Amino acid sequence: MTHAGSGPNVKRWNEQRWVLDAVIQTIGVEWDQPRLAYTMYPAGIDAIADFRAVGAKVRKFADVHGEFAAAARRREIHAGQFEKQGRRVAARESYFIAALLYSAARWPIFENNEKSIRYNARMVACYDRFAALMNRPIERVEIPFGTRGRSLPGYLHLPREPRPGEKFPCAISIDGMDASKEIMCSMYGDKFLERGMANFIYDGPGQGECTIREIFVTENNHMDAALSVYGWLSRHPHIDKDRIVVRGVSFGTYFGLQAAAALGNRIRGAAVSFVCHEPGMHALMEMSSPTFKMRFMYMAGYTDEKLFDRFRKKFTLQRQAAKIQCPVLIQAGEDDELSPLEATDELLKKVKAPKMFVVYEGERHAIGGNNLSSYLGENWFTMHADWCLDRIDGKPAPNERVFINALGQAVAVPYR
C-alpha cells in the first residue's frame, strides 16, 4: 500500500499496477508465491478458514492488507474472549493465528505509516499473549545490535521445561523477505522442537519488526546479526553452544549462508531451502512481480530505484562461500523463477565443506505443489529437519548433488 510520492519509487510498479491488479483478479492473492499456504502452515488446520476467506475476498492489491487485518482483528477478539472465559488453549491458538494474519497484513505496505506500525504492534502483542499461554517455554528476546541502543527482536522456543542444568541443541531460524519471525516456529508439532532442539527465531536487519525500527539491511550486516545472535545464545543457561545449526528459507538462504560464513566452525551445519543466490538479484528484482523489488527497497531503506540498483549489485555470496566451514544443505526447485540454479552451483564450487544440493524436478521457488517430485519424493521440510538433527548428533555429512525426479526417485552424484 504505497501512494504516489511515498515509499519506494519503482518504475515497473508504477507502470504495471493495473496489470498486477488484473493478475490478482484472475489468479488470486497467491499470484507470486503461495503466501496463504506458508503463512497458515505454522498454525495448522484451524487457520485454513481464516486464510482462505481472505483469499476469496482479495480482488486487487489494495485489498490485501485490509482483508488480512480484518481477519486478524476477528481472531484477536475471539482470543480475548476465550482468555476471559479461562479457556487458555483456545485463547493461545487464536492469538497465534491472529499474529500470523497481522504478519501477512504488514507485507504489502512498503513504508512506515500508521497502518504498518499498528499491524506490527498488534502482531507482537498477539504473539506475546500466545507465548504467555503456551504449555512450553517461550522467551521474548532483544539482541543488542549496532549503535544507539538498537536491538534485534526474537523468541527462544524450548522443546519443554528444562531440568536443572539441562542444555538443548538449537536451530537458529532465518526467514526471507516477505514474512516475519513469527512464522518460523509452528504452534504445535514444530519440526525442530519435536526433534528435541530449541528453535530461536528472530528478525534480522530489514526483516519483520526491524523495518519499523529502521534497522535496514545492507550487503553484509546479517553476518553481524548472526554473530550477535550466536553470542547471546552461547551465554544462555539452557542452550548448548557447541550444538547449534543455522537454517534459512527463501531469502534466508542468502542470509543463512552469510551467517554460516560469519560463524565458521562454531556451528554444526547450515540448511537452506528455496534459493536466492543470484549475484545482483536480477531475476528477483527485474523478472518477477514488482512487489519483490518494492519490498526489498523498503527493507534496505531506499526510495530511489537507480541508487538501489547500484546497491543491490553488492549482494553476492561468491567471496563469502569460501569462508563456510560447516556442512551445508541446499534445497531448490529445478525451475526456480527467482534465482537460477546455475548461481547456486557456482556458489557451491567455492564451499570446501561437505555439501548436499537437493533439486526437485519441475518445482519452482516454493517447493511443493508444482510437480510430483515434491509429493512422491521425500518431503523437503522433513529432510531439512532431519539433516539438521544429524549434524547436531555428529553424524558424517553427505557430500553430493541429489536430483529428485517426478517419480519421487532420488539420484545422487557425489561431489569430487
To 5 degrees, how large is the angle CA 401–CA 264–CA 257? 50
Would you say residue 162 lies in a domain? yes
Q: Provide the CB-side half-sphere exposure for 215 (13 A, CA).
A: 23
Whether 302 maps to a domain, the answer reads no
Indicate which CATH number applies to the domain containing 145. 3.40.50.1820
- Could you please report the per-residue DSSP string of 47-76? GHHHHHHHHHH--STTHHHHHHHHHHHHHH
What does the pLDDT read at residue 7?
Answer: 83
Looking at the fold, whether 36 and 170 belong to one and the same domain comes out as no
> Which residue, chain included where needed, has cell 545490535?
145
Considering 105, 135, 165, which residue would you say is the last residue of a domain? 135
Q: What's the confidence (pLDDT) of residue 178?
A: 86
pLDDT, residue 146, reads: 84
One domain, residues 85 and 216: no
In the chain, how many domains are there?
Answer: 2
Got the DSSP string for 325-381? -S-EEEEEETT-SSS-HHHHHHHHHT--S-EEEEEETT--SS-SSSSHHHHHS--HH
169-182 pLDDT, tens digit per residue, is 999 999 999 889 99
Contact 25, 61 (CB under 8 A): no
CB within 8 A of 408, min separation 6: which ones?
372, 373, 375, 376, 377, 378
* 22 in the same domain as 68: yes
Instruction: Specify the DSSP element, H or E, that contains 412.
Output: strand 410-414
Task: Kindly give the parts of the chain with pLDDT less than 50.
Answer: 1-5
Given a contact cutoff of 8 angstroms between Cβ atoms, the answer to whether 315 and 281 are in contact is yes
d(CA 232, CA 184): 19
Q: Looking at 100, 135, 170, which one is the last position of a domain?
A: 135
Domain that includes residue 252, residue range: 137-277+317-416
Indicate whether 389 and 340 sit together in one domain.
yes
Q: Which of 271, 416, 262 is nearest to 349 (CA)?
A: 416
pLDDT reported for residue 3: 40
